[in-house]
Amino acid sequence: DAGVIQSPRHEVTEMGQEVTLRCKPISGHDYLFWYRQTMMRGLELLIYFNNNVPIDDSGMPEDRFSAKMPNASFSTLKIQPSEPRDSAVYFCASSFRTRRGTGELFFGEGSRLTVL
């Protein structure tokens, strides 16, 4: 079975440009998460969706960041305009509800973003 698929794997852009990261969750999963990983701050939850609806976006750094999930098989994380401090690895993860409510997260391989 295919896992969580993210694209692009690597993105190098210049400050001020728009960046769009994409994620395809595992089929049948009803939760989708966007995380950011940096050396300084570790893994930070940016936003998560349940059944395509944003549930908690309190981790989104500022208005330059936005995320959408138009359907159960696709999500985007957009940064506009991008800044050098946005350089990080962005992970998408998906999960499904279990009887005990503590499902395992399945992570994609990440999108490494470098903003010059």
For another protein, the binding residues (CB under 8 A) are 4, 31, 33, 42-43, 45, 48, 56, 91, 93, 95, 97, 100-110
Determine the Cα–Cα distance for residues 25 and 91; give it in Å rounded to an integer. Answer: 11
Q: Could you identify the residue written with the tokens 């138009």?
A: 70
H or E element: which one contains 43?
strand 42-50
Sheet holding 19-24, edge to edge: 5-7, 19-24, 74-79, 65-71
Q: How far is the CB of 105 from another protein (least distance, A)?
A: 6
Measured from the CB atom, is 72 or 105 closer to another protein?
A: 105
Give me the least distance between CB of 4 and another protein, in Å please. 7
87 vs 1: CA distance, rounded Å: 31
Nearer to another protein, 48 or 65 (CB): 48
7 versus 81: smaller Cβ distance to another protein: 7
- Compute the least distance from the CB of residue 28 to another protein, in Å: 15
